[in-house]
């Protein structure tokens, strides 16, 4: 085992892919000499050259279109778009072309590319750079949406995504790049569409993903001081969505809380909550609680931003109220 940051784990996966498959190439803004907005691609240009690590113009639709077209003829592009907010400029390409080409062509064509992008707030980057829009893409058949929360999953999921025949939206949270965890030296993969129990408990199930996993684990530790043992589940991917693991946990605990960084109205937490009702209704002892961001554009001010995005104290207080503590 070796300890890697999430940034290093993704970089390792990219280097592996470039080394093992000559059809793999990277493209995005400032991914070459600059090394990427979050330094994930640092050093790859020197090792693989401009043909394999391609700096692109500030034109997200062009970047996504290039990935779709090249993947349709046998290449395996891995795109970096600086933030998920900028993918809105490429949404037509991603949703109307990449996601649908295999189905509309009856399998004659496919667009197996990976689009890496950064989600979430907490970095003081203001309203147009701090949104959590991964749930939008999870609504689209033909796309795969993964949301790693730690270095082990980041590398294992990236390896699995390279085997996909459909486009993958690989969502990295801006605050997780420095997270450190043990990663096996030997090759392994993490299956797409399979959630994991991060912490076992018997009193309440907390279902979450991405950076909120860390928040919920902190909350679970605090709740244990009050005699409440929370089971924390990391979804790891939003499409395909694993409902079985969360439902089994709810059948055991009888109570559930869904935590996401996105806004509650129209948020992906509603899908999770609905799936729990559909699969474990007879075991529910109290209403499922949804915790999400406040219904405002994410503020630039750090003080205001910290009050908008859910933190562990908010999760703790909501669950204590559930148990009337």
Residue 26 belongs to domain with CATH number = 3.40.50.970
Residues 29-52 pLDDT 10s: 999 999 999 999 999 999 999 999
- Domain presence at residue 28: yes
Which three-class secondary structure state does DSSP give residue 141?
Answer: coil
167 with 216, same domain: the answer is no
259 with 153, same domain: the answer is no
State the Cα torsion 131-135-136-142 to the nearest 10°: 140
- Domain presence at residue 191: no
Give Cβ neighbours of residue 267 (< 8 Å, ≥ 6 apart): 135, 260, 290, 292
Q: What is the pLDDT of residue 6?
A: 98
- Known catalytic residues are 60, 129
- Domain presence at residue 188: no
Domain's final residue, options 129, 155, 183: 183
Specify the number of domains making up the chain: 2
What is the Cα–Cα distance from 142 to 113, expressed in whole angstroms? 12
Q: List the domain range (segments joined by +) for residue 144.
A: 2-183
Two structure tokens written together for 276 = 């729990």
304 C-beta neighbours (distance < 10 Å), count: 12
What is the Cα–Cα distance from 301 to 287, expressed in whole angstroms? 34
Q: What is the pLDDT of residue 128?
A: 96
What is the Cα–Cα distance from 14 to 10, expressed in whole angstroms? 6
pLDDT one digit per residue (tens) for the chain, 325 residues: 899 999 999 999 999 999 999 999 999 999 999 999 999 999 999 999 999 999 999 999 999 999 999 999 999 999 999 999 999 999 999 999 999 999 999 999 999 999 999 999 999 999 999 999 999 999 999 999 999 999 999 999 999 999 999 999 999 999 999 999 999 999 999 999 999 999 999 999 999 999 999 999 999 999 999 999 999 999 999 999 999 999 999 999 999 999 999 999 999 999 999 999 999 999 999 999 999 999 999 999 999 999 999 999 999 999 999 998 8
> Burial level of 119, CB count in 10 A (0-12/13-18/19+)?
buried
- Domain presence at residue 37: yes
171 with 311, same domain: the answer is no
164 with 238, same domain: the answer is no
- CA 179 to chain centroid, in Å, comes to 15
121 with 210, same domain: the answer is no
51 with 89, same domain: the answer is yes
- Domain presence at residue 123: yes
> Burial level of 311, CB count in 10 A (0-12/13-18/19+)?
middle
143 with 111, same domain: the answer is yes
231 with 153, same domain: the answer is no
What is the Cα–Cα distance from 290 to 69, expressed in whole angstroms? 40
Residue 227 belongs to domain with CATH number = 3.40.50.920
73 with 175, same domain: the answer is yes
276 with 167, same domain: the answer is no
DSSP H or E stretch at residue 207: strand 204-208
What is the Cα–Cα distance from 4 to 178, expressed in whole angstroms? 9
- Domain presence at residue 189: no
21 with 133, same domain: the answer is yes
210 with 172, same domain: the answer is no
The bridge status of strand 2-5 relative to strand 53-55 is: unpaired
Give Cβ neighbours of residue 319 (< 8 Å, ≥ 6 apart): 204, 206, 219, 223, 228, 230, 257, 289
Q: What is the pLDDT of residue 325?
A: 84
């Amino acid at each position: 085992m070796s300890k890697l940051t999430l940034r290093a784990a993704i970089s390792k996966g990219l280097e592996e892919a470039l080394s093992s498959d000559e059809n793999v190439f990277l493209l995005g803004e400032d991914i070459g000499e600059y090394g990427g907005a979050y330094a994930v691609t640092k050093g790859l240009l020197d090792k693989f050259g401009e043909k394999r690590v391609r700096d692109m113009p500030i034109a997200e639709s062009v970047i996504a279109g290039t990935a779709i077209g090249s993947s349709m003829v046998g290449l395996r592009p891995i795109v970096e778009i600086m933030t998920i907010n900028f993918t809105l400029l490429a949404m037509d390409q991603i949703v109307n072309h990449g996601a649908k080409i295999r189905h509309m062509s009856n399998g004659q064509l496919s667009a197996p590319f990976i689009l890496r992008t950064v989600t979430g707030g907490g970095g003081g980057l203001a309203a147009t750079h701090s949104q959590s829009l991964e749930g939008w893409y999870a609504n689209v058949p033909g796309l795969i949406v993964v949301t790693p929360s730690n270095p082990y999953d980041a590398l294992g999921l990236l390896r699995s995504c390279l085997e996909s025949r459909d486009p993958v939206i690989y969502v990295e949270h801006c605050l997780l790049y420095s997270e450190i965890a043990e990663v096996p030296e030997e090759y392994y993969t993490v299956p797409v569409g399979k959630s994991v129990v991060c912490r076992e408990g018997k009193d309440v199930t907390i279902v979450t993903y991405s950076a909120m996993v860390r928040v919920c684990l902190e909350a679970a530790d605090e709740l244990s001081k009050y005699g409440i043992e929370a089971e924390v589940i990391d979804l790891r991917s939003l499409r395909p969505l694993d409902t079985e693991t969360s439902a089994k946990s709810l059948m055991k605990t009888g109570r559930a809380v869904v935590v996401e960084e996105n806004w509650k109205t129209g948020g992906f937490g509603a899908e999770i909550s609905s799936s729990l009702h559909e699969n474990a209704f007879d075991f529910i002892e109290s209403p499922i609680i949804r915790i999400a961001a406040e219904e405002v554009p994410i503020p630039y001010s750090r003080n205001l931003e910290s009050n908008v995005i859910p933190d562990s104290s908010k999760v703790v207080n909501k669950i204590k109220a559930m148990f009337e503590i």
